[in-house]
Amino acid sequence: MFASSEAIVLDLAHLKSIDFHQEGESSLVTVGAGVVFRELVEAVKGRQAALPVGTGPDVGVVGYIVNGGLSGYFSRRLGLLGQRVVRLTMVTAEGDIRVLTPEDDLFIAMLGAGSALGTVVDVTILMAPESILQSAEERVVAFETREQAVAFARGALRIQRESVLSNGSVSMELVVSGKKALVVTLVFYDAFQGSTAEFTKPLDDLAASLNLSITLKSHWSTWYETATALWPVIAEEKGSPLGMLQHCMGTKGPPTDAVLDFICDTVVAEAPLDQAQFSIVEIRTLGGAVLSQSELPTGNCHHQFFVDLITLYDAKAKTVSERQEIATLTQRVMEKARHVDGLSVDFSGTHSQPDDVDASVSASVIFGTQAMADTVRRLKTMVDPANRFRFHPFAKLFG
């Protein structure tokens, strides 16, 4: 846990408050820094509300927000979770308590670079009505060989590009799992018109054409069911401790054939899914509300197509050489990605690895633009000139 023998770790796990309140027409929830997504989702369920939450039930809500956040099933309709924050309470390096709103210069920077700037003890988030979700469909397809996974991914991603990216009322995620499963989730928002079969049938036909079995077909009609869909899968990821490498890739417009071929032939084909069986490759649609809402210090804000490589395994069950092999395979994929035209790499603070050996990291890519990177750097010198907050995903960017 300790990045240095002289480091002080602040444990905020007991800040568990979840408070609901109304301000005019706005339904808000104030979340303490110790709250995890499972607790927030369960609390929001009883309020007939919805949020663009992360899929990991044990991920800290505030940590997720202040390190850049990520997209999820609901982001095309609701934006990133950080984009829905209206107020936050932070403690500076000098011990001053500050309540920030969008009028404050520091507010936006905290919603993506916050772990480098201060300690956030709570955030207040604008909720949406649960009616934003009309329905959702999921298909789980079993595969035996990596070649089968690549072939299905190639077909599914072309369906995603041609049918989903052009339709703002639908989002789609493909997950390739080290557990030999391909999971496709389609979310249909309140503006959706037509038949969901127009989107599910091509996927069913694709599986049949490749002689792959669909082991599970699921239909959900509520935000809560969709938000918790992956919890049983995540619960199987047991280990003490779990090792993890996380990286992101994405495109600002629809992905080209060359990008899709790279994602299939290199990321899906070469990621260490066999060596680290809890690992997944997540490929989802972005854009929509993410692009139209306020810009945050995360490259997610500028992308329509998102790929997330999570390399996950029980480190206790691996030898040093096995752990090194997994890291090497992951880094090899990411190094190849940096040479693909139009593909951004490591554009989210939450899932970037700025301390990867010999990897060059651009602040403008991590934080979205050079202007945003300059703003974050300027604010860092103002609120933490002694660099007391130095162990965070952005450490390499601030020296």
> For the chain, what is the domain count?
2
Q: Residue 42 is inside which H or E element, if any?
A: helix 37-45
Q: Which of 64-68, 69-73, 238-242 holds the top average pLDDT? A: 64-68
Answer yes or no: is 115 within a domain. yes
Same-domain check for residues 240 and 111? no
Distance between first and last Cα of the chain = 21
Task: Output the CA angle 364-369-370, nearest 5 degrees.
Answer: 60
Among 95, 130, 165, the domain boundary falls at: 130
Same-domain check for residues 310 and 207? yes
Q: What is the model's pLDDT at position 358?
A: 66
Q: 63 is in which domain, residue-wise?
A: 18-130
Answer yes or no: is 396 within a domain. no
Answer yes or no: is 352 within a domain. no
pLDDT over 60 at 1, yes or no:
no
Average pLDDT over residues 261-275: 98
Q: How confident is the model at residue 217 (pLDDT cuts 50, 70, 90)?
A: very high
Same-domain check for residues 217 and 240? yes
**Strands in 214-360 per DSSP E:** 214-220, 242-251, 280-285, 305-314, 344-345
Same-domain check for residues 252 and 268? yes
Average pLDDT over residues 93-100: 96
Q: Note the pLDDT tens digit of each residue in 338-395.
A: 999 999 998 887 776 655 666 767 889 889 999 999 999 999 999 999 999 988 888 8
Among 130, 162, 186, the domain boundary falls at: 130
Give how far Cα 355 sits from Cα of 118, 247, 360, 394, 395, Å.
21, 12, 9, 9, 8
Same-domain check for residues 152 and 272? yes
Q: What is the model's pLDDT at position 114?
A: 95
CATH of the domain at 35: 3.30.465.10
